[in-house]
Amino acid sequence: MFTALMLMQSAPARAARGPGVDFMIPGVSLEEVDFTAGSRVAYLVISRTYGVDDSSLVELAVLDFSAEGIELEILSAPYSGRGEESVRIRLSLAPHFQKVKSPGEFYSCLRELRIQEGTGPFREPTREEIGDFDLDRLFLKQSRESKPTELAPRIMTTPAGSYTCRGYNFFFSDSSRVSMGGLEAVRREEESSLLWLCDSIPFWGLVKSEVKRTSHTSVGSPSPRRVSRPKVTLTDSILLSWESRKKRQSIDGE
């Protein structure tokens, strides 16, 4: 149900490392994300797993940002435009939320969370829905180390226009031990992110991204044996439209 925030994790941000905790993508702290009131971005997100495509529209907007706090709105909907299947989420956060350094601190800043399914009214989520949201995943594991490679600038064309972009390639991996039928196994996850960024785009500056996630499990020693079919997920994010206080560009040319 919380598809929007999960997909946002594949929408990487500005390639700079700040003092705060990494927020959703490697190398970018929560303090560095631009939450200017009136900003909005919309992306087409295409996810491919085992050869099956799933396309979604994801929008993020700042409804209000002041000394009193911030109100964010996140929309996730099928790209086909069927409004009854959309989910809209509104989060009201304390003004110091950009200083948090853990999921626990983030929860302490959360004043209100409401959801809207289709054209229904906004309501409070159930305890089960809050668990499904898994807000902890907004913060990257500190054990993961990204290895950025800067690429030559390129002009990237999207439905929102053409932009001269900086390119970055991030790679990180993570291994953990798991038990499988009494045998000790190792689960390995790898992620490679190709990012194209432009400073004029709100929030993260993201114009396009390609993310490849691979996971597999192996067991046995001294020569580990792979016991699971590798799971490969490819996710593309493409800028559809954006707005800021001074500028606006969209797929209809406004």
The Cα 225–Cα 213 span in angstroms is 21
Structure tokens at 239: 């800028």
**Predicted local confidence at residue 14, as pLDDT:** 42
The Cα 34–Cα 61 span in angstroms is 11
C-alpha pair distances (Å), 41 with each of 25, 96, 204, 206, 224: 17, 23, 10, 9, 45
Q: How confident is the model at residue 28 (pLDDT cuts 50, 70, 90)?
A: low
* DSSP bridge partners of 61: 40, 73
First to last CA, the chain: 32
Query: Taking 90 as the threshold, does the pLDDT of residue 18 lie above it?
Result: no
Average pLDDT over residues 92-110: 80
Query: Taking 50 as the threshold, does the pLDDT of residue 12 lie above it?
Result: no
**Predicted local confidence at residue 181, as pLDDT:** 65
User: The whole model's pTM is what?
Assistant: 0.78
Q: For residues 172 and 136, which has the higher predicted lDDT (pLDDT)?
A: 172
Average pLDDT over residues 209-221: 80
Whether omega before 222 lies within 30 degrees of 0, making that bond cis, reads: yes
